[in-house]
Amino acid sequence: MSRLVNSVKSFSTTASSLLSDATAASVRPPSFKVCRDVPSIRGLRRQLLQKERTVGFVPTMGAIHEGHLSLIRAAARENTDIFVSIFVNPTQFGVTEDLSSYPRTWDADVEKLEKLNEELERLGENSASAGRITAIFAPTSKAMYPCLPPSSEVDGHGSFVTITPLSTKLEGASRPVFFRGVATVCMKLFNITTPDRVYFGQKDVQQTVVIKRMVKDFHIGTEVRIIETTREHDGLALSSRNVYLGDRRRTVGLTIYKALKAAENAYLTGKTSREDILGAAQSVAQSVLAQQQGLSPSERALYEVDYISLADPDTLDELETVEPTKGAVLSTAFKMAPLEETNAGEDCGLGDGKVPVRLIDNLILHPRA
């Protein structure tokens, strides 16, 4: 046991040593460990198990926002300890995708998690059930993929988890390695952290369906919790990629939510056919696009609708009619094109409006009582 504890000490770093000096000076002593490799987080997990504590695990790729914090708050309500992973997983990015430009905001992430721990500590003063973040697991690629360099090629070599046909639908149709990468890294993370419960956001609905299927099919001993999407005041779903939008694309990008709400409204007012429900969403998406096309390149933001789907909640098979006792998943993806022309002083977002932004969102059509 003492060897185990020593190895935890030697392999883990504290949060403050990874913060910039200026930031570190202004914060309290770190309230969680930062583990960079597998033995250190495993050692910590074993200690917690021996003390009969429970672990809730929140996997992230960093760029922590309010959506992630809501997952951690949910984990804190039912676990004594929370592990948060920060790992930009290369295998879920296709060869032409934005791995190198994915936002990496380590200092800000650590600061947000420290602040959240302070909040959880205050809550804990009034309730015995509030857990805390105990560790950030921020492994290297080599730690996560120890044998072969991680491959993003569709036919690349490696040890992969594939969940078909779920992974080939919707997002998987245009991102063929995405869910293989997500399932593979989550299997590794679950094996390493052996959490009692794992927390995912509803925003990535297909990811939640794939993970639930993987946990069931591989008999993984963890409970999967899905937490409602966190939205901005006007309904735009929070996403790490929103920082690339800028004002103009953000305003137009809200159409994704408006289109889903129109379809939801059709269902809530009694419609059950695909034509009626998806027709409502398509008409919003098309009319806004037509308006934008009528504007000049320096005023407009163009997009392409990748898909609007009405699908079974468990299989993601497309539905012709919603069975009201079962409900459905309504989901969509919009590709916001780079801005064609920008204006002096305009907020064009990170990357100056040149980065294409894929927006995804969904609403659950709940079973009718």
**What is the C-alpha to C-alpha distance for residues 294 and 278, in angstroms, rounded to an integer?**
25
> Cβ of residue 228: shortest distance to ligand PAF, in angstroms?
15
> Cβ of residue 200: shortest distance to ligand PAF, in angstroms?
7
Neighbours of 259 (CB within 10 A): 26
Amino acid at 77: R
**What is the C-alpha to C-alpha distance for residues 110 and 222, in angstroms, rounded to an integer?**
26
Contact 135, 48 (CB under 8 A): no
Residue placing its CB nearer to ligand PAF in the complex, 16 or 92: 92
User: What do you get for the CA distance between the two ends of the chain, in Å?
Assistant: 54
CA dihedral sign, ordered 105, 109, 110, 111? positive
> Cβ of residue 59: shortest distance to ligand PAF, in angstroms?
4
Q: Is 65 labeled as catalytic in the residue annotation?
A: no
Residue placing its CB nearer to ligand PAF in the complex, 64 or 259: 64
Could you list the residues that contact ligand PAF (CB under 6 A)?
59-61, 89, 92, 182, 185-186, 204, 207
> Cβ of residue 91: shortest distance to ligand PAF, in angstroms?
9
Catalytic residue among 65, 68, 219, 233: 68
Contact 163, 207 (CB under 8 A): no
Residue placing its CB nearer to ligand PAF in the complex, 201 or 253: 201
> Cβ of residue 185: shortest distance to ligand PAF, in angstroms?
5
Residues paired with 195 in a beta bridge: none
Nearest to 171 by CA among 334, 348, 336: 334
Residue placing its CB nearer to ligand PAF in the complex, 183 or 260: 183
Residue placing its CB nearer to ligand PAF in the complex, 204 or 264: 204
Considering only the C-alpha atoms of the chain, give the largest distance between any 2 of them, rounded to a whole number of Å.
70
Collapsing DSSP states into helix, strand and coil, what is residue 121?
helix
Q: What phi and psi values does residue 71 have, to the nearest 5 degrees?
A: -65, -40
Residue placing its CB nearer to ligand PAF in the complex, 152 or 255: 152
Contact 91, 177 (CB under 8 A): yes
Quote the distance between the C-alpha of residue 262 and its chain's center.
25
**What is the C-alpha to C-alpha distance for residues 115 and 347, in angstroms, rounded to an integer?**
28
Residue placing its CB nearer to ligand PAF in the complex, 53 or 112: 112
> Cβ of residue 4: shortest distance to ligand PAF, in angstroms?
27
> Cβ of residue 307: shortest distance to ligand PAF, in angstroms?
19
Copy the structure tokens of residue 352.
Answer: 């100056």
Amino acid at 244: Y
Residues in contact with 75: Cβ distance below 8 Å, sequence separation at least 6, in sequence order: 56, 57, 58, 82, 131, 197, 199, 225
Copy the structure tokens of residue 52.
Answer: 């009969």
**What is the C-alpha to C-alpha distance for residues 135 and 82, in angstroms, rounded to an integer?**
7
Report, as residue numbers or ranges, the catalytic residues: 68
